[in-house]
Structure 1
Amino acid sequence: MSDSNRTDFTNPSTFILLGIPGLEAAHIWISTPFCAMYAIAVLGNFTILFIVKKEPSLHGPMFYFLCMLAFTDLVMSTSTIPKMLSIFWFNSREINFSSCLTQMYFVLSFSTMESGMLAAMAFDRYVAICNPLRYSTILTNSAVAKIGLAVVMRSGILTLPYPFLVRRYPYCRTNIIPHFYCGHMAVVKLACADIRINSYYGLFILFSVIGVDVFFIAVSYTLILRAIFRLPTKDARLKTFGTCISHLCAISALYIPDLVSSLIQRFGHNVPLHFLILITSVYQLVPPMIHPIIYGVRTKQIWCRLLQLYTPKET
């Protein structure tokens, strides 16, 4: 066979995204709840950002961290869902190589950034409950900005090697990705090379970033619970613990789908591919949609301001 007729994807100009393989006939039906969830995520997170910006009483550490989380959710969901919907609605499956790597980087960096924001919010709850008299002196605007910058830089720098590692591989098998976005492992599995360094680096990120965040959150809440149980009355304990409910729900919305997805991918060898991809889509969509709902309902200041926005003023 001549060189001109050989299929060679050493540096593919484009990849082909299949969406959800095996469920192509149901793509239109699947797109309806996904589109609704994405719309709720965008509307909810923009509402959080708008309310905090417009309401001076919300200009404090807790709400600054909440705005950072809302922005992170917006970017993370927007990195994948519009392309997914374009596949479902318009059969727009092509994505060029550079765009694929860019999408991969944004998904990886902002998902780790989201974990870091939840760890920062756990620190905020720890200081508010365990050191309430020093809250305003510890979490100054400068301190909040430094914490936010540290989370952003950590995520941005540590996930930067991923696209460079992926770019250096030859792709001689196929350029078809059985997914709705350029996930890291979905792409490197197409490479005709030893990809162990990517697997090892992924495990390093898992333990050094996500693992550290989870450990930090667990320590914070251990100290918080110890402080709560020392309160003299049951009502005081319940009221204080109630200030943590929103954050605990946000943590659950992020880590539970991620944990389920990781366990299924590692141990569910007989699980159909389309089910794995649906689980991944839940991880991409549920936290950005749930977080503004949780904080909008559970946080009195935001809920009251939201009601003022949509309640007609009496003349």
Structure 2
Amino acid sequence: NDGVTIAKAIDLEDHFENMGAKLVSEVASKTNDIAGDGTTTATVLTQAIVNEGMKNVTAGANPVGIRRGIEKATKAAVDALHKMSHDVKTKDDIAQIASISAANPEVGALIANAMEKVGNDGVITIEESRGVDTTLDVVEGMQFDRGYMSQYMVTDNDKMEADLDNPYILITDKKIGNIQDILPLLQSVVEQSRSLLIIADDITGEALPTLVLNKMRGTFNVVAVKAPGFGDRRKAQLEDIAILTGGTVITDDLGLNLKDTTVAQLGQANKVTVTKENTTIVEGAGAKEQIQERVDLLKVKLLKRLQT
């Protein structure tokens, strides 16, 4: 019963009316992507702005002046909302907000528990249960802001995301332009009937379409994403992924090349979910001691940065 779902479902016969409906749908979708809520409010505001705007233009007002007025009013409204708002800090606050959004106190309490356990920097994902109970599981994992390189790699067309169960993970800071560079590795993965996540600087030339074609043919399930970060930060993030998954970063810094890479150098995880914008790795196969050491190191670095 949310605004964005209703807006997307509307399809009018009149061409011009449908253009207006699609505009509202785009507003609701963008609001959902940025804020995650408030789509019904955005839809109502859009209708009011369009109606009043058309009324004023018809009466002879300058459209450019109306636009400038809308922009000034927007800034004033945002400033006022900032003054009225307050930080959500307590578990009860979170439960109250979540209960209203979900229209279900039980779900609201579950979300509050999840937020309490993972913290502000944690990642919460929702999966369909195989039973009738709604449960909360806390697992080790990470998320970074890189999505799939091709939409043809998705496994769930409704959610437009790719799910990999028990995949191997190739981690490299190199560009892959020739499929022959990773062909022996791909053959080893196929022989084991495993899926593969490729994290690389980029995949260019014929390499990407070859991967997509084999994915669509059902030869194997593969998803490719660009490595997160840049420069030294990229090296650190790739090392984070390697430690989490028990893999090795294939890089010139270690004298390693793609052609000689074996499955023993690949990372592994219980599950990987890739959307258009993010990649989430759940329950990596890395050693718990090494993962904890890395987490402690990152916390120390973050604390030092906040203190400077």
Which band: TM-score by shorter chain?
A: under 0.3
> Higher helix share goes to which structure?
1
- Report the TM-score, using the length of structure 1 for normalisation: 0.23
> Higher strand share goes to which structure?
2
**Bigger CA radius of gyration:** 2
**Higher relative contact order (CA closer than 8 Å, sequence separation 6+):** 1
